[in-house]
Structure 1
Amino acid sequence: MDAPDVAGTAAALREHRPSLVAAFLASVPPARAAILTRLWGALWREQVLDPRRLGGPPPPVFGPPVRSVLVDGRAFDDPGVLAGALALGPGFRRELDNSVANLALAMTAPPSPFGGLTGAEQSIVDGHPLHPCCRTRIGLSTLDVLAYAPEHHPDVRLRIVETDPARWRTAGVPVPPRFPVHPWQLPRALASGLVRDTGVDVPARPLMSLRTLDVGTGHVKTAVEVQMTSAVRTLSAAAIHNGPLVSDLLAALDPGIVVLREVSAGTVLDDAGRPQRALGAVWRDAPPPDADVLPLALLPHRPDLLTPGFFRDLVGLLLPPLLELLERGVGLEAHGQNTLVEVAAGRPVRVYYRDLGGIHVHPGRLARAGHAMPPLVGALPTGDARALRTKVLASAFATVLSSLVAALGDEGLWGYVAEVAGRCVSAEDRRAVLEEDWPLKATTAMRLAADPLEDRWCPVPNPLRETLR
């Protein structure tokens, strides 16, 4: 599959987009540094190798870029070369090299011409803040990246395909046996023989996730057999089944944040009745079109907006509903892509949450809160309170709030976080939130594991602990 590195990307640009070559080559050094920084942090935190081999002090989770690192007394400035020297596998090196190339290409993009949420999401150039494969797109050529990646602001035409009604499994509000297919995926979908091309196109614009697009009436998540970060972005049968059910559950819980409901979902069955991960779609609500909404991942790049006062207001909006939901049995994976904030007059006024496939639901806590457990399948249901807390702590606390405090350069803000969390957290969760080390997703260890989709975590110091001493 396509996975162009710097040399391959430069060659493609020379042939097809020569005007971008100079800017691309100038962006390669900072892109290498950005990926190297993510890999370096992972090597320290995730026990990928013996830390005695690493030179220098451990880096902060959200620290400045590093241009060179020492391993076994040898200096490295290229993450792919470092991965090769550490024998982390040719596949991982290939992904790092592709990530560097795509990040450098992203750095050449002009500002998004679109307003609203689409423009805000397309303004995020560097992808996952901690994953060294933050811009990996295995399967896409350089021209594909320019044609479909959100940071390049393309207009995308989704193609409507249809299938036989007997093959169609739908959840939530019933939809007819037809659905939109991403144009990159279309030849693969038609080759399955399970769907037919209607010839109808739908104009769309990609959001932060290349495969999720704004179609004007809402957002649609499509299946695209491209590896981005650690996963190939298809749609599991569990995701199709669970999304509308969890939407209904959260509406009943009335959590104090706006949940963008997964209204409908559908997948195609093969001759044996098995759902096909690459043939389906999820239809999701969008925020009001007249609201000024942006993902939390954009805030570290908006110093004009992110002030200590803005941060405190955001903490006051975000933590009470997250911790109340945790007590009642729902652990939201409130990271910077899934969580949005509405801004009015320069202040945060409302929080939105989307993408329900990564949450956990605890039946015992839910029953204690007076709600029945819906018939969820897969990994969403859990009876493990630690797993439930981990979803919230790793995303909202160890990632989002930590990145915002680092961007503001003010560790004193943790005192306000401790104050708000201390008022809202249940006695059952108090110690984990306020005192114990927080979990952080071990993205590199996951990528190198036999099952890269199995969640792995590493501990990071809890800054709230220091404020309570």
Structure 2
Amino acid sequence: MHLPPGCAEETVGAELAGVRPALTGAYADALPGARAAVLTRLWRGLACEPLPWVDRRERGTGGLVLVLAGGSRLEGPLPDPYATAPYVHEVLLDGQPYRQAARLMAALAPLAPAAPGFAAELDGSTASLALSRAGQPAAQPPPASTWEWEQRVVDGHPYHPNCRSRPGFSVAEQLAYGPEHRPLVVLGLAAVRASECRVTGRWPQEWREGGRILLPVHPWQAEHVLKGTGVRPGFAAHPLMALRTLAPAAGGPHVKTALSARLTSSVRDISEYSVETAAAVSDFAQALAGRLDGRLHFTRTLGAAGTHGPDLAAVVREAPEAYADTAAGERVVPVGALAGTPYARSAPWRAELARLALGVGLRLLDLGVALEAHGQNLLVVLSAAGAPLRLVYRDLADIRISPLRLAGHGLPVPPLSGRLVEDDVRALRRKLFGSLVAGALGSTAGSADALAQDLARAAADLAPTADTEALLRGPLPTKALTLMRLSPGVPGDQWARLPNPLSAR
């Protein structure tokens, strides 16, 4: 199978001409940059991940050569696995130039059976990224709220080639629901008999009606999955970085909705397991926060509810602003929104963030909890002057809890089983290091050199534990995002090992 050149790019352009013709020129102008951004992310995966059909990698002064099974040669620039600015505009496969990630992946189909499907995703990611960039105003006022900060994130995941892949979303739906387009989304409410609904925590009274539970439903889900059945108009909300999690326009707790669509790597539904464990995990996290001297707060899960299936469920949790003194000028910003800002361009500021985040993350890991502390889940409370004061963590659905480590500190083990429970040291370190260091801090730094500076400045203040030693001396784990998309039959996460930037100093 060969992907038609520019398939999604042309389709999105044609749809855009029908629904928002004023953006067609900006979309065309954004395509070259979007191609380079997605190709850069793909090259990171090809250059750094354990792909079974890459026989060896040869590093030279002019770049990197991947010798592929069968003898083909793929050539590109020397990779910086922590870089966020696009630096790959062309790679050569047996001398043939490729400037579009989708066309390159389609050409690799003889080596990777899943390549055609991934190529289609890359095609859609490039087109959607260009659409996202085309919709940005020339000038924006400074963000006044956390949700405004979140909507400043235009390019999506900093390292995933599917950074803006939204299969199943039309152009009109991307403009209507994508946070970077700054829409106001009207969520629906689905009435479900209480006897048919699992509820944990305290479900809001305003979302109860006689013997029924009212579940907030994303409008995309209502139309495409639930087919509009039994969904009534609900309330307006601002979409956050996660798209399916929204901040009600009237204020109050945030709402995480089920969205049975694949964004980046995962189908974004809400499992029965997540509903069942939500209250217990939230209570456990609140008790554990007291061990961190006020440096970290967890947004409480107020309630979770769902039917017997992942397509109709919702989670209600505190807004991160609950942990900021707004009267003193404090504000809460997702770490993923900081890249490219004046904060991130300041090496001393980044070092303070790294010192705070690593200190908290390693302390929790030592106690027995590994956070999924990527730039979407991890937020920083800034002072009025912009200094990082403390952290806020949201969405506990993917943390890992070690009963063995908790017991070693005399801490109670929460009544949990299943995927949240993990005692394997390597798995615990992968969870934290891969999300926090290779993810949130790496993307904020924007390069291996800058990340090395940040880690070196923070290292002196870290507790000398075996986890700290592994972080500072060993290779850094990261999710093998490209390998995972090329291995659809392999469940769970797969991993790559990146060179530790401190080793080059």
User: Letter of the aligned partner of 1:204 in structure 2?
Assistant: A
Taking the TM superposition and a 5 Å limit, the aligned residue runs for 1:358-397 are 358-397=398-437
1:38-49 maps to which residues of 2 (within 5 A)? 38-48=41-51, 49=53
1:447 to 485, 488, 495: 485
Post-superposition Cα deviations, 1:334-361, rounded to whole Å, max 9, x if no partner, equal 1111111111112111211111111111
Question: Matched residue of 1:379: which SS?
Answer: coil
2:91 aligned partner: 69
The CA deviation at 1:202 is 0.8
1:432 paired residue number: 470
The aligned residue for residue 244 of structure 2 is 211
What TM-score do you get using the length of structure 1 for normalisation?
Answer: 0.91
CA distance in 2, matches of 1:278, 1:192: 13
With over 3 angstroms needed to count, the CA separation of the structure-2 counterparts of 1:393 and 1:190, relative to structure 1, is: closer
Match in the other structure for 1:226: 261
Q: Which stretch has the larger CA shift, 285-294 or 315-324?
A: 285-294
Counterpart mapping for 1:125-140 below 5 A: 125-140=154-169
What's the secondary structure of 2:488's corresponding residue?
Answer: coil
Equivalent residue of 2:312, what SS? strand
Would the alpha carbon gap of residues 102 and 394 (structure 1) be closer, same or farther in structure 2, given more than 3 Å must change? same
Q: C-alpha separation between the residues in 1 aligned to 2:228 and 2:220?
A: 14
Q: For the Cα contact (< 8 Å) 1:54–1:70, is it kept in 2?
A: yes
Residue 190 of structure 1: CA displacement? 4.3
Unpaired stretches in structure 1, ≥5 consecutive residues: 269-274
Q: Which of these residues, 28, 31, 35, is aligned with residue 28 of structure 1? A: 31
Distance, in Å, in 1 between the alignment partners of 2:101 and 2:92 is: 12
Matches of 1:322 and 1:105 in 2, distance apart? 36
Shift in alpha-carbon separation, 1:185–1:57, aligned structure 2, 3 A: closer
Match of 2:105 among 83, 94, 97: 83
Alignment of 1:414-429 (within 5 A): 414-420=455-461, 423-426=462-465, 428-429=466-467
Secondary structure, in 3 states, of the residue corresponding to 2:422? coil
Q: 2:14 aligns with which of 11, 27, 31?
A: 11
TM-score by length of 2: 0.85
- Tell me how far apart the structure 1 counterparts of residues 278 and 126 of structure 2 sit (CA, whole Å): 34
Q: What does residue range 64-463 of structure 1 map to in structure 2 within 5 Å? A: 64-65=85-86, 66-87=88-109, 88=112, 89-111=115-137, 115-175=144-204, 176=208, 177-188=213-224, 190-191=226-227, 196-197=230-231, 199-215=232-248, 216-254=251-289, 255=292, 256-268=295-307, 275-288=308-321, 290=326, 291-303=330-342, 306-344=345-383, 345-406=385-446, 410=450, 411-420=452-461, 423-426=462-465, 428-451=466-489, 454-463=492-501
Contact 1:398 1:438 in 2 (8 A): yes
- Taking a change above 3 Å as real, the CA distance of residues 190 and 86 of structure 1, as seen in their structure-2 partners, is closer
Give the count of matched residue pairs: 453
Aligned 8 A contact 2:192 2:214 in 1: yes
Please give the secondary structure, in 1, of the residue aligned with 2:311. Answer: strand
Please give the alpha-carbon distance, in whole angstroms, between the structure 1 residues aligned to 2:490 and 2:338: 29
Percent identity (aligned):
39
The separation in 1 between residues aligned to 2:445 and 2:44, in whole angstroms, is 18
- Secondary structure in structure 1 of the residue aligned to 2:467: helix
Q: Distance in 1 between matches of 2:479 and 2:393?
A: 20
SS in 2 for 1:15: helix
Q: Report how far residue 323 of structure 1 moved.
A: 0.7
1:144 and 1:262 map into 2 onto residues whose CA distance is 29
After superposition, the C-alpha distances for 1:178-200 in whole angstroms (9 at most, x for unaligned) are: 1110111113564496xx33x34
In the alignment, is the contact (CA less than 8 A) between 2:198 and 2:276 conserved in 1? Answer: no
Q: Measured at CA, do residues 220 and 375 of structure 1 come closer, stay the same or move farther in structure 2, by a change above 3 Å? A: same
Cα offsets for 1:346-386 (capped at 9, x unmatched): 21112111111111111100111222222324311012111
1:166 Cα offset (Å): 0.9
Cα distance in 2 for residues equivalent to 1:349 and 1:241: 33
**Secondary structure at 2:496's aligned position in 1?**
strand
Between the aligned partners of 1:378 and 1:451, the Cα distance in structure 2 is 21
Secondary structure, aligned partner of 2:195: helix
How far the C-alpha of 1:309 sits from its partner, in A, is 1.9
- Asked whether the equivalents of residues 343 and 349 of structure 2 are also in contact (C-alpha less than 8 Å), the reply is no
How far did 1:174 drift? 4.1
Distance in structure 2 (CA, Å) of the matches to 1:178 and 1:33: 44
Q: Kindly state the Cα deviation for residue 250 of structure 1 after the two structures are TM-superposed.
A: 1.4
**Inter-partner Cα distance in structure 2 for 1:407 and 1:72:** 29
CA distance in 2, matches of 1:192, 1:44: 45
Give, as a single letter, the amino acid of the residue that structure 2 aligns with 1:307: S
CA displacement, residues 239-269 of structure 1 (integer Å, 9 cap, x when unaligned)? 112222221111111233011122210111x
Alignment gaps of 5+ in structure 2:
1-5, 55-65, 68-72
| In 1, Cα distance between equivalents of 2:77 and 2:34 | 23
- Counterparts of 1:375 and 1:35, CA distance in 2: 43
SS of alignment partner, residue 362 of structure 2 = helix
1:169: Cα distance to partner? 0.3
Q: CA deviation at 1:302?
A: 0.5
Deviation at 1:47, TM superposition (A): 2.8
Q: Is the 8 Å Cα contact of residues 125 and 151 (structure 1) preserved in structure 2?
A: yes
- Secondary structure, counterpart of 2:374 in structure 1: coil
1:229–1:28: structure 2 CA closer, same or farther, 3 Å change rule? same
1:403 CA displacement: 2.5
